Amino acid sequence: MVHESDIVIIGHLAKDIIEVDGISHSSIGGAVYYGGIAGSHMGVKISIITRLKQSDFPLLEIFKKNGIKYYVSPSEETSGLKNIYSSQNIEFRSYEALGFAGRFEKHEIPDIKTKFFVIGPIIAGEIDLKLLNYLYIKYSGKICLDIQGFIRIRENSKIFYRNLPKKDISEILSKVRVLKLDQKEAEVLTNQKDINLATQELYELGPKEILVTHEKGITLNFQNKIYIFPWKNKASIGRTGRGDTAFISYLGARLTRNPEESLKFSAALTSLKMELPGPFSLPLYQVENLIKNEY
């Protein structure tokens, strides 16, 4: 039986630790969590595909509560990252790896009809090139990718960014409709500190829409035209999950709005999310009010 969704997100559900100035707390993480719940609060029909340790399956209850269909495969470990921040500069963080739920296999991908198929891995190794090729054939023209899933590497307990050979970058990006990255990842891929120049370089490789989250806001390159909207958050205690929220709220808006309006909506919704820990769960009128008052 073929299920239908507006957006499908594939990626590990994570058991994270968030540490600010040496004080830490446990948190769920991953694009399936932050992006999936934000999308469901927009009224978007979301399905997620994930892997985690069987004893952690109770964590999936949150998806059921939010009306999100989930497909899960058991793994030996549950993924997780320790996100280490200083309140002096909440924009930048370092990481430690806590676990890895392994690579997704072709047989773990259910038959779902969807408008956007989002590849939202936490770190490299969740999705390999072979599976990306399979997904591209199955969902041609619908692939949306967070590039961290190919260039954020885990080695022992360390996490770092590693660029890929030009050939691999070209092969990956030629299959992608919407690309999501942050400022650091854009620089890793292109050696460009300037976000606009970086997106222009990446646009030549195939993506139709490129989203970059950064300290000041969110930038979009659509058909080589640049749009930008600033963040309007009054606090940053919900900084973790910013990129996932921005990505899925943009795609959710794109179901009914043009790229510029979708970017504005994403900037507003993500700004509100950053003011509170956890996934976005506010009523949508607050997003529309922020747009009216600040944009």
DSSP-assigned states of every residue in 107-171: GG---EEEEEEEE--SSTTSS-HHHHHHHHHHTTT-EEEETHHHHEEEETTEEEE----HHHHHH
Asked if 199 contacts 186 with a C-beta cutoff of 8 angstroms, the reply is yes
Q: Report pLDDT for 141.
A: 97
Q: How far apart are CA 174 and CA 180, in angstroms?
A: 14
The pTM for the full model equals 0.95
Structural domain tally of the chain?
1
Residue 113: CB partners within 8 Å, gap ≥ 6?
A: 2, 3, 4, 5
Give me the domain span that covers residue 170.
3-294
**DSSP SS3 for 92:** strand
Calculate what percentage of the chain has a pLDDT beyond 90.
84
Q: How far apart are CA 221 and CA 175, in angstroms?
A: 17
Q: Domain containing 259 — which CATH number?
A: 3.40.1190.20
Per-residue pLDDT of the chain (295 residues; tens, 9 = 90+): 778 999 999 999 999 888 888 888 888 999 999 999 999 999 999 999 999 999 999 999 999 999 999 999 999 999 988 878 777 776 677 777 889 999 999 999 999 999 999 999 999 999 999 999 999 999 999 999 999 999 999 888 788 899 999 999 999 999 999 999 999 999 999 999 999 999 999 999 999 999 999 999 999 999 999 999 999 999 988 988 999 999 999 999 999 999 999 999 999 999 999 999 999 999 999 999 999 999 9
**DSSP SS3 for 218:** strand
HSE-up of residue 39 (Cα within 13 Å, Cβ side):
30
Q: Report pLDDT for 90.
A: 67
Q: Report pLDDT for 82.
A: 83
* Residue in 114, 51, 66 with CA at minimum distance from that of residue 252: 114
* 10 phi-psi bin (left φ>0, alpha ψ -120 to 50, beta other): beta
Q: Report pLDDT for 123.
A: 93
Q: How far apart are CA 144 and CA 210, in angstroms?
A: 10
* Structure letter (DSSP) for residue 256: T
Q: Which H or E run contains 53?
A: strand 46-53
